[in-house]
A and B are shown apart, each in its own frame.
Chain A
């Protein structure tokens, strides 16, 4: 049985939707859930919604999370993030889910929790939909890491991210030998920065457990040519935001099209297709980004996550615990180190 620790101070409606998702999960799933936040406020809100108190527990965190606050001061307080991560440190089976500021979560996680042996930096791994499905279960999502945990990476970090991402995808999407690519400005590595060139050279030597397919341009990210795409945190964050921005712009364009009667008719006729695309590109379906490289499961969801995003993050957390994904990631990194030495 997994233990899901949920930060109820982040997400849509000041965490109210995170609480609702937890209440629904308590009724639908047979797992222990701990809500972290202001106890009096949470108890008051819980009384108004159907939930199963046998599966829910509250851990009090009195200090508010302020995204503008200095990182050091935020780490010193008793915020929902620091309290939640303390709970995580005490329970190896726990999974922490938060929609708080990613930088604060990563910093607090690195301070409170241990790292996987021989992993220098952590990586946030986000999924995004691609045209070609992945694995035997035809998983529509590919993995992109890092998307914001480590802004500046060395080639060593990129190779480690490749091993971690491949191990994660192998477990979550049941892919026997995931195809891994490095994000670059061309298919040849010659024009890439030195860290990418060096990582490319090391990965070409035949890493264990996954297939390296070379460098991949950003316009091929959604094609599905690779199951795992590796990049540094800065580039990954920019790429992910761009993809989400394009999807949001598409939504707006459809709404704008409805302004003219004839176009509205056309949009109505395409209604089912548009709904399918919307469902496909909706980030709330992805569940959040796991922080890889830490010896506990931490899932970071977007700041404006709603009920559905939190519910999917809870389901992802349960899956990570059930499939022993963290052990697989640690084993993947260990195999890489053995091969390299």
Chain B
């Protein structure tokens, strides 16, 4: 086994040259070369590329999302959309054999995704799922998404069996090489203006998504990129592919607006501070919905829908109000914005007859408890130290592995 920072070529089987993809090879209706990995689920709903480009103004790229723009939503699956438990081998086996109807979603995730993919706006939205689950689970997972009424445009799963057969054991657990490649590949496959990414704190989603965003924004040059991939012990074959995509996409546009990290493990918020305001750690999807509503991406009706889903999942008005206060204290929601949100919820509630009134009362209590709080959001981090963050995350993972997850760390 090679030392840290070197590629493990001994375990790696040679890869046919034809598997390397260039953006020219990908068109809107073409099945991608790694056909088992990326599946275009609803090509009929995708408008022609010319139409998409015509609808997008060049200056729109740097603006915060506004209605009628093409928005790409990229979701992780396990612990982000689905409630999955991977803590033991037993859990892993159970998850593998679980029926689609037995799989539970994270409270509010389904409602949020459905609201974001509202038929009225569907032609302006793309949804990609990039999951670390093995490709053998595609049928079950697709069935689950179908049951939830969620139709992704792309659905990417990890080639774990292939990794196993090729002796690429590090790739079975590692996420950086796989997810980064999938993100870059799917970015080339779809024209996008704004991107919103959803992940969790169980893996390295904040790291990978931020790196992806910075590649597109041109903040990570080839030398730095190679150093990061080397530190993350990505296999040579994946490094070559990622570097090829990097060459094509670097500086193509600062399109990632927000990265939402679902705090499934309730990790300390400080762990994500180094990524800046683009990464927002959320305790539940109502927090995400609030921020998307504030950004003009989600309707008031959608927000009420998420609230109703949370209530159905057992969320009390106190719990929801607490999470609203959390966002306010962190500077992501300002009291005037909350007043607007309350108005919108009130309005939408009258239209759909949902019991949000008690929730609104709790929101007001929350604001009253803070006095005259005005806090600016954290700064947008432009120079992220990825190598340092990788080592820090590795340290925490090892600490958790040997000492268990500490309540205070």
Residue positions of A touching B, CB distance < 8 A:
1, 20, 23-24, 27, 32, 34, 39-40, 43, 46-60, 62, 87
Whether A53 pairs with B323 at a CB distance below 8 angstroms is yes
Whether B373 pairs with A60 at a CB distance below 8 angstroms is yes
Of B131-139, B241-249, B261-269, B384-392, the one contacting chain A is: B261-269
| Nearest 6 A/B pairs, CB to CB | A53-B326, A47-B269, A43-B329, A59-B369, A54-B319, A60-B371
With a cutoff of 8 Å between Cβ atoms, the chain A residues found around residue B320 in the complex are: 54
Whether B370 pairs with A60 at a CB distance below 8 angstroms is yes
Max chain A C-beta neighbours (<10 A), residue from B270, B323, B369: B369
Take A57-B366, A58-B329 as given contacts and tell me if A24 and B407 are in contact as well, using a CB distance cutoff of 8 Å.
yes
B interface majority secondary structure: loop
Whether B319 pairs with A55 at a CB distance below 8 angstroms is yes
User: How far does the alpha carbon of A58 sit from the alpha carbon of B406 in the complex, in Å?
Assistant: 23
17 contacts between A and B (CB under 8 A): A43-B330, A47-B270, A47-B273, A48-B270, A49-B407, A49-B408, A50-B266, A51-B266, A53-B283, A53-B323, A53-B326, A55-B319, A55-B322, A56-B326, A57-B322, A59-B370, A87-B369
Beyond A39-B373, A47-B269, A50-B407, 5 additional contacts (C-beta under 8 Å) are A1-B316, A23-B407, A49-B268, A50-B266, A55-B319
- Minimum distance in angstroms from B63 CB to a CB of chain A: 30
Interface residue? B12 (CB, 8 A): no
- Minimum distance in angstroms from B379 CB to a CB of chain A: 15
- Minimum distance in angstroms from B321 CB to a CB of chain A: 7
With a cutoff of 8 Å between Cβ atoms, the chain B residues found around residue A34 in the complex are: 369
With a cutoff of 8 Å between Cβ atoms, the chain B residues found around residue A55 in the complex are: 319, 322
- Minimum distance in angstroms from A50 CB to a CB of chain B: 5
Q: Which residue of A lies closest to B362 (CB)?
A: A57
Q: Which residue of A lies closest to B272 (CB)?
A: A47
Interface residue? B318 (CB, 8 A): yes
Q: Which residue of A lies closest to B265 (CB)?
A: A50
With a cutoff of 8 Å between Cβ atoms, the chain A residues found around residue B186 in the complex are: none
Whether B268 pairs with A52 at a CB distance below 8 angstroms is no
User: How far does the alpha carbon of A62 sit from the alpha carbon of B372 in the complex, in Å?
Assistant: 12
User: How far does the alpha carbon of A56 sit from the alpha carbon of B319 in the complex, in Å?
Assistant: 8
With a cutoff of 8 Å between Cβ atoms, the chain A residues found around residue B366 in the complex are: 57
With a cutoff of 8 Å between Cβ atoms, the chain A residues found around residue B329 in the complex are: 39, 43, 58
With a cutoff of 8 Å between Cβ atoms, the chain A residues found around residue B87 in the complex are: none
Interface residue? B409 (CB, 8 A): yes
Partner of B407, one of A27, A58, A62, A87: A27
Take A52-B283, A54-B322 as given contacts and tell me if A60 and B369 are in contact as well, using a CB distance cutoff of 8 Å.
yes
- Minimum distance in angstroms from B314 CB to a CB of chain A: 10
Take A57-B366, A58-B325, A60-B371 as given contacts and tell me if A50 and B319 are in contact as well, using a CB distance cutoff of 8 Å.
no
